[in-house]
Amino acid sequence: MANTTPCPQCSSYDVAKNGIINEKQRFKCKSCGYNFTVAKMGKSIDSYYVIKALQLYIEGVSYREIERLLGISHVSVMNWVKKYRIKIPKQEFYTPTYRILNHKELSEFVIVPGNLSNKGMIITELGDKFMVIQWTRIKSI
Residues near Zn ion (CB under 5 A) are 7, 9-10, 12, 29, 31-32, 34
CB of 35 to Zn ion, least distance (A): 10
Amino acid at 59: E
CB of 31 to Zn ion, least distance (A): 5
Q: How far apart are CA 124 and CA 114, in angstroms?
A: 20
Q: Which is nearer to Zn ion, 36 or 94 (CB)?
A: 36
Q: Which is nearer to Zn ion, 12 or 79 (CB)?
A: 12
CB of 104 to Zn ion, least distance (A): 21
CB of 51 to Zn ion, least distance (A): 27
Q: Which is nearer to Zn ion, 14 or 46 (CB)?
A: 14
- Radius of gyration of the CA atoms of the chain, in A: 17
Q: Which is nearer to Zn ion, 31 or 102 (CB)?
A: 31
